[in-house]
Structure 1
Amino acid sequence: MIDQQPENEVFAGVDTHTDTHHAAVVDPLGRPVADQEFPTTTQGYRTLLTWLITFGQVQAVGVECTGSYGAGLTTVLSAAGLVVVEVNVPDRGTRHARGKSDAIDAYAAARAAASGRATAIPKSRTGTVEALRQLRVTRASAIKARTQAINQLIGLRVTAPEPLRASLTGLTRTALVNSCLRLRPGADLACPADAARYALRQLARRIRILTEEIDEVTEHLATLTEAAGSDLVALFGVGTETAGQLLVTAGDNPERLCTEAAFAALRGAAPVPASSGRTDRHRLCRGGDRQANRALHMIAVVRMRYCPRTRAYVARRTQQGLTKKDIIRCLKRFIAREVYHALTRTHTGDITSTTGLL
């Protein structure tokens, strides 16, 4: 009887781009095996997958930019049962020492997966939270465009000819937009007065359309947020806006964040040691997702103002000599713990009793 030889174990890495992906395969010791370029199409993803498994049992695939250029490939590889890990783009120092090419970056990604240096599991992007993210992007761009249009409207009002400027001075923003909607410019746009009326009316129309778009998207966002994070919205101080941001940061698979400490670090709420000599203290973290950190900050501010337990906690910690920044840091860490258990639906009695004080 002939003993069956074990299948070779290999690791892969992918350097992602808009039109092409460059894949590389290494053995468990990080030695190069092969590399090849593939197009960023559905057929290209399948061909890349078939090419990978011809070298043996793929233990893990390190992919750059799983949330952007590599999103499609990540979905295909995950659906095929392969372990996909997020790989950071090589820093400037590494590229200066080793050079820069698609093959070099792909081999670097494969070695990061083989060595265990890359362990972050990418977002699945296949559920309600991904839909929520897309709508939030749409609303954010609409709000930005409306703000720009409002600023331009106010600026044109200041420089408008005197009779027109006088009629629009002293109005609130809503009244200004409604007044500009009723303007009737003349036929001669070479006249500054007629051109000003035309420009103000066009900006007012744009503001009205954008406002209607924002209101419509906001309604859909509220519905999706309630469906995806009902436990999260039920927390004190958590509204649909902050809940939506926290959900988007966690993704459709929050279980990829194995511990509450990892969740806090992702949101920039993990304490950073800042001790020296006889001074033993921590400081606020400047890393992590800054938008999620802002959401935690807003929850902390709301609780500091309206939650009796949090107000009592702040008073107690103030008497102990902590500054406001230190207190907010502690609050954000507690809130991150509470949010994590709300997202993963794994509340425990100990955690509830701890975060209940805040």
Structure 2
Amino acid sequence: MLTPVTDADQAEVVVGVDTHKDCHVAVAISMLGVVLGTGSFPASAAGYEELLRWARTTGQVKRVGVEGTGSYGAGLTRALRAAGVEVLEVNRPNRALRRRRGKTDAVDAEAAARAVLSGEAAVVPKNGDGPVEAIRVLKIAKDSANKARVQAVNQLRSVLVNASSRVREPLEHLSLPQLIVRCSAGNSTGLGPAETAVVHTIGRLARRVQYLDAEIKDALKQMTSLIQQMAPDLLQVQGIGPDSAAALLIVAGDNPERLRGEASFAALCGTSPVEASSGKTRRRRLSRGGNRQANAALFRAVLSRLRWDPTTQKYLQRRTAEGLSKREIIRCLKRYLARTVFKILRASLPLPNTT
């Protein structure tokens, strides 16, 4: 039930939205925490406009908390930003609170609004409409094709294991590229039914691998072109290639001004130290949160630098002499590399120049 609000009483309100595939449920609350109304709106462009009009009948809408800004709420987030409304990303409700109050869409939307009102929700979501979003989508396609390629190669090899000697032995000592070429042009003349089926099967799998190779190459070419346009210096860092650079750019997003500083970027990469002290013990550990793909990219880069970079090798020797384990040294190097990457991104992208 919507509480009527006159023009003279137009005070600021906070709106929380629980997003779904087909509809979004919104709850508006006053600055004192009073629920002013609840509404359900279709997840479409017309529904976004209807939601905003409804919210403005309850008061001045300046902040909206949205669940799932990177999935079902992405379209709503863009629509609200285009209307000049500040959008904040809201995590799912607290589990203890959910057990006490139950779960409905209205309850989740109200929890989102109260998270914004209390200041608990302060994360600015990514825009999702720029070149970084294009890189993210291309990387999804490339990673999927790479996974399918590995599966096809494994299936090809497993079929050859049980094949007859007339089919298997001529292919045993070939390298993988040679094996793919030979199998793709297989000849089943003079073979029995089972052997013919094997030749046709490995031919299909080999041609599938060739198709996926072309798809991976094309996606990688497009990704590299976008990265070179946005942050070419990132590809000059030893140990960072197109895949790793894409993962690090995806963390920053198309609106990197939401990052408060290099410590914030390190936290998003899961390389920031976290207090783990207890009693008489005083120590720190690395955060286990953050974007795990970006964390893996930094880890791969550090391993590459440990093998090929003389400066990093000297650092390893010095820190080992100080009593640190190799695992702890790698953690320090990941933190250092995250700081280096942030400086490059700040020079390439419109990041805030904060201390």
The TM-score, its normalising length taken from structure 1, stands at 0.90
Alignment of 1:224-239 (within 5 A): 224-239=226-241
For residue 86 of structure 1, the aligned residue among 86, 89, 101 is: 89
The superposition leaves residues 202-241 of structure 1 with CA deviations (integer Å, 9 ceiling, x where unpaired) of 1111111111111111111111111121232233332222
Corresponding pairs, count: 344
Matched, 1:30 2:33: yes
For residue 199 of structure 1, the aligned residue among 188, 201, 216 is: 201
Provide the residue aligned with 1:165 in structure 2.
168
Runs of at least 5 residues in structure 2 that lack an aligned partner in the other structure: 1-6
Matched, 1:263 2:271: no
Provide the residue aligned with 1:250 in structure 2.
252
Provide the residue aligned with 1:136 in structure 2.
139
Q: For residue 124 of structure 2, give the secondary structure of its aligned residue in structure 1.
A: coil
For residue 45 of structure 1, the aligned residue among 29, 45, 48 is: 48
Q: Is the 8 A contact 1:249 1:289 kept in 2?
A: yes
Alignment of 1:106-117 (within 5 A): 106-117=109-120
- Per mean C-alpha deviation after superposition, the further-off stretch among 45-54 and 285-294 is 45-54
Provide the residue aligned with 1:10 in structure 2.
13
Runs of at least 5 residues in structure 1 that lack an aligned partner in the other structure: 352-358
Provide the residue aligned with 1:96 in structure 2.
99
Provide the residue aligned with 1:181 in structure 2.
184
- Per mean C-alpha deviation after superposition, the further-off stretch among 274-283 and 248-257 is 274-283
Return the letter of the residue paired with 1:209: Y
Structure 2 distance, partners of 1:59, 1:285, is 33
The superposition leaves residues 170-211 of structure 1 with CA deviations (integer Å, 9 ceiling, x where unpaired) of 22211211111121346999x222211111111111111111
Structure 1 distance, partners of 2:108, 2:278, is 39
For residue 155 of structure 1, the aligned residue among 158, 161, 179 is: 158
- Per mean C-alpha deviation after superposition, the further-off stretch among 51-60 and 103-112 is 51-60
For residue 292 of structure 1, the aligned residue among 291, 294, 315 is: 294
Structure 1 distance, partners of 2:343, 2:309, is 20
Q: For residue 226 of structure 2, give the secondary structure of its aligned residue in structure 1.
A: helix
Q: For residue 26 of structure 1, give the secondary structure of its aligned residue in structure 2.
A: strand
The superposition leaves residues 268-303 of structure 1 with CA deviations (integer Å, 9 ceiling, x where unpaired) of 001122334554322232111110001111222222
Q: For residue 337 of structure 2, give the secondary structure of its aligned residue in structure 1.
A: helix
The TM-score, its normalising length taken from structure 2, stands at 0.91
Provide the residue aligned with 2:79 in structure 1.
76
Structure 1 distance, partners of 2:317, 2:165, is 56
The superposition leaves residues 96-143 of structure 1 with CA deviations (integer Å, 9 ceiling, x where unpaired) of 111011111111111111111000100011211111111111111110
Q: Is the 8 A contact 1:284 1:326 kept in 2?
A: no
Provide the residue aligned with 1:308 in structure 2.
310
Structure 2 distance, partners of 1:221, 1:248, is 12
Structure 2 distance, partners of 1:330, 1:108, is 38
Q: For residue 237 of structure 1, give the secondary structure of its aligned residue in structure 2.
A: coil
What is the CA RMSD across the aligned residues, in angstroms?
A: 2.1
Q: Is the 8 A contact 1:153 1:204 kept in 2?
A: yes
How far off its partner does 1:308 sit? 2.9
Structure 1 distance, partners of 2:183, 2:233, is 44
For residue 210 of structure 2, the aligned residue among 208, 211, 216 is: 208
Q: For residue 298 of structure 1, give the secondary structure of its aligned residue in structure 2.
A: helix
Structure 2 distance, partners of 1:308, 1:194, is 55
Give me the identity figure in percent.
46
How far off its partner does 1:321 sit? 1.3
CA gap 1:93/1:162 in 2 versus in 1, 3 angstroms: farther
Q: Is the 8 A contact 2:231 2:348 kept in 1?
A: no
Matched, 1:145 2:130: no
CA gap 1:177/1:40 in 2 versus in 1, 3 angstroms: same
Return the letter of the residue paired with 1:39: P
Return the letter of the residue paired with 1:21: H
Matched, 1:65 2:68: yes
Structure 1 distance, partners of 2:188, 2:16, is 61
The superposition leaves residues 15-73 of structure 1 with CA deviations (integer Å, 9 ceiling, x where unpaired) of 11111111111111322111111111111111112211222112311111111111111
Matched, 1:119 2:117: no
Structure 1 distance, partners of 2:312, 2:303, is 10
Return the letter of the residue paired with 2:88: V
CA gap 1:188/1:101 in 2 versus in 1, 3 angstroms: farther
